[in-house]
Amino acid sequence: MTQSATTTDTVLSVRDLTVDFPTGDGVVHAVRGVSYDLRPGEVLGIVGESGSGKSVTSMAVMGLLPKTARTSGSVRFRDEELLGLTDKEMTRVRGSKIAMIFQDPMTSLNPVYKIGFQLAEAVLAHNDVSKQAANKRAIELLEMVNIPQPDRRVEQYPHEFSGGMRQRVVIAIAMANNPDVIIADEPTTALDVTVQAQVLESLRAAQRETGAAMVLITHDLGVVAGQADRVLVMYAGKPVEIGTVEDIYYNPRMPYTLGLLGSLPRLDKRDQQRLTPIHGSPPSLVNLPPGCPFTPRCPLAAAVCQAREPDLEPVDGSGFTAAGLRIHLSACHFKEQVARHDPADLFATSASDAELPADFGSGPGLVEPPLEDDGSEDELR
């Protein structure tokens, strides 16, 4: 890796993080070497398809992986190494220094406790204050995420809140102890668009209020475009490109990124070109062949791609960070060639998909369907 960790301007520094899960079919290499630095107040978007390892990466950072997982590498919060800490030691960090927001607000709130209790619990966990003070803080927090009548709302249970409001409660809990880093894992995926807009607004407010840096994990390239300062693209457990949002969206240097952008239907374009899907499926993470894992789906693939997996290296003309490091990196043997292409030149627009995925049963290509909740069907249940 070309970036080196400098402790002054990074809050979170991840180096060569790997996560393996031993299973009956062999070892799943879910994360195969992720490195990034998070600067104070910055929003880093992590994008990738299901199974690319974006969630596992952040679970590893938070120390929330199951005991069977094998992790290696380094995760430093300021000067403190987090990897290898005991659960008890991690509890001190979780919530107060790094907070996490999960995808599904129904499962991340406890259904049998009042909202106010759950907020106060987060405050009391890290601060030596009275219960009254914690309750007062709970009401303040709800107000900050724009929940009307917070003094009445703290007395209610999660089921009395709508999906969007629940997620705002989770955001309020995350900001309860003014963390330095907020990790948001698909925070709006389960929500409707108009509610998503409200929640993103609250998330922004939370970030402004606490001055925290944020890691925003999502598969929605639209959300990332609006929220992130820098973007990390993941494929098959590895970062394949990292850069500023402008670098990634206007000057992608990895065929996978280019393909992703080309496969997006656009809301704002009148002359709709045919979409350019990326053919095939992501590889199985159990038996990865040598070389670049994108090779079987890549239109630029050559012999060298099968022989050697490219490292993340600076692209020509990349900008520099304050510390003099290159911002825009890509893991592709042909990164300079990619610059000359539109998605349509490289990717075929044909509609066939005849090849079976390598990994039967794990179902690549499927993301969690949004919680479709037709009011009409409630009655039938």
Partner 1 sequence: MTTQQDRPGHAVDKSEPILSVRDLVKEFPIRSRGLVRRVVGAVHAVSGVSFDLHRGETLGLVGESGCGKTTTSRAILHLQPATSGEVLFEGQDLTKLGKEKVRRMRRDMQLVFQDPYASLNPRITVSEIIAEPLKIHGLYGRDGRKTVSDLMQRVGLNPEHGNRFPHEFSGGQRQRIGIARALALKPKVLVLDEPVSALDVSIQAGVINLLEDLQDELGLAYLFVAHDLSVVRHIADRVAVMYLGKIVEVAPTDELFERPLHPYTQALISAIPIPDPRRERERERILIQGDVPSPANPPSGCRFRTRCPLFLTLSEADQGRCVNEEPPLVPRGLGDRHPAACHFARVQDVL
Contact 286, 25 (CB under 8 A): yes
Supply the minimum distance, in Å, between the C-beta of residue 64 and partner 1. Answer: 24
Supply the minimum distance, in Å, between the C-beta of residue 261 and partner 1. Answer: 7
CA dihedral 256, 257, 258, 259 (to 10 degrees): 50
Footprint of partner 1 on 194-213 (CB under 8 A): 194-198, 201
Tell which residue, 231, 292, 222, has the closest CA to residue 45: 231
Q: Nearer to partner 1 by C-beta: 262 or 291?
A: 262
Supply the minimum distance, in Å, between the C-beta of residue 307 and partner 1. Answer: 25
What is each CA distance from 297 to 47, 172, 261, 293, 338, in whole angstroms? 18, 42, 15, 9, 15
Secondary structure (3-state) at 124: helix
Q: How far apart are CA 234 and CA 47, in angstroms?
A: 6
Q: How far apart are CA 381 and CA 376, in angstroms?
A: 10
Contact flag: residue 357 with partner 1 (CB under 8 A): yes
Q: Which of 91, 263, 306, 321 touches partner 1 by CB under 8 A?
A: 263
Q: How far apart are CA 155 and CA 152, in angstroms?
A: 6
Contact flag: residue 353 with partner 1 (CB under 8 A): yes
- Residue type for position 39: R
Supply the minimum distance, in Å, between the C-beta of residue 349 and partner 1. Answer: 6
Supply the minimum distance, in Å, between the C-beta of residue 351 and partner 1. Answer: 4
Footprint of partner 1 on 150-189 (CB under 8 A): 162-165
Place of tokens 């590889």: 283
Place of tokens 């280019």: 258
Contact 303, 310 (CB under 8 A): no
Name the maximum alpha-carbon separation found in the chain: 67
Q: How far apart are CA 49 and CA 244, in angstroms?
A: 20
Q: For partner 1, which stretch binds (CB under 8 A), given 65-73, 110-118, 308-316, 358-366?
A: 358-366
Q: Nearer to partner 1 by C-beta: 163 or 314?
A: 163
Footprint of partner 1 on 266-285 (CB under 8 A): 266-272, 274-279, 281
Residue 308 CA, distance from chain mean position: 27
Supply the minimum distance, in Å, between the C-beta of residue 161 and partner 1. Answer: 9
Supply the minimum distance, in Å, between the C-beta of residue 312 and partner 1. Answer: 21
Q: Nearer to partner 1 by C-beta: 158 or 163?
A: 163
Contact flag: residue 86 with partner 1 (CB under 8 A): no
Q: Residue 252 phi/psi, 5° resolution?
A: -65, 140
Contact flag: residue 73 with partner 1 (CB under 8 A): no
Contact flag: residue 360 with partner 1 (CB under 8 A): yes
Supply the minimum distance, in Å, between the C-beta of residue 361 and partner 1. Answer: 5
Supply the minimum distance, in Å, between the C-beta of residue 70 and partner 1. Answer: 27
Contact flag: residue 342 with partner 1 (CB under 8 A): no
Tell which residue, 173, 78, 85, has the closest CA to residue 124: 173
Contact flag: residue 106 with partner 1 (CB under 8 A): no
Q: Nearer to partner 1 by C-beta: 152 or 274?
A: 274
Footprint of partner 1 on 28-57 (CB under 8 A): 49-50
Tell which residue, 217, 227, 278, has the closest CA to residue 249: 227
Q: How far apart are CA 220 and CA 118, in angstroms?
A: 30
Supply the minimum distance, in Å, between the C-beta of residue 130 and partner 1. Answer: 34
Contact flag: residue 369 with partner 1 (CB under 8 A): yes
Q: Nearer to partner 1 by C-beta: 18 or 281?
A: 281
Q: How far apart are CA 234 and CA 223, in angstroms?
A: 16
How many residues does the structure list for the chain?
A: 381
DSSP for 66-103, written as a single string: -TT-EEEEEEEETTEE-TT--HHHHHHHBTTTEEEE-S
Contact flag: residue 356 with partner 1 (CB under 8 A): yes
Contact flag: residue 290 with partner 1 (CB under 8 A): no
Size of the site for partner 1 (CB under 8 A): 75
Contact flag: residue 259 with partner 1 (CB under 8 A): yes
Binding mask 226-255 for partner 1 (x = CB under 8 A): x------------------xx--xx-----
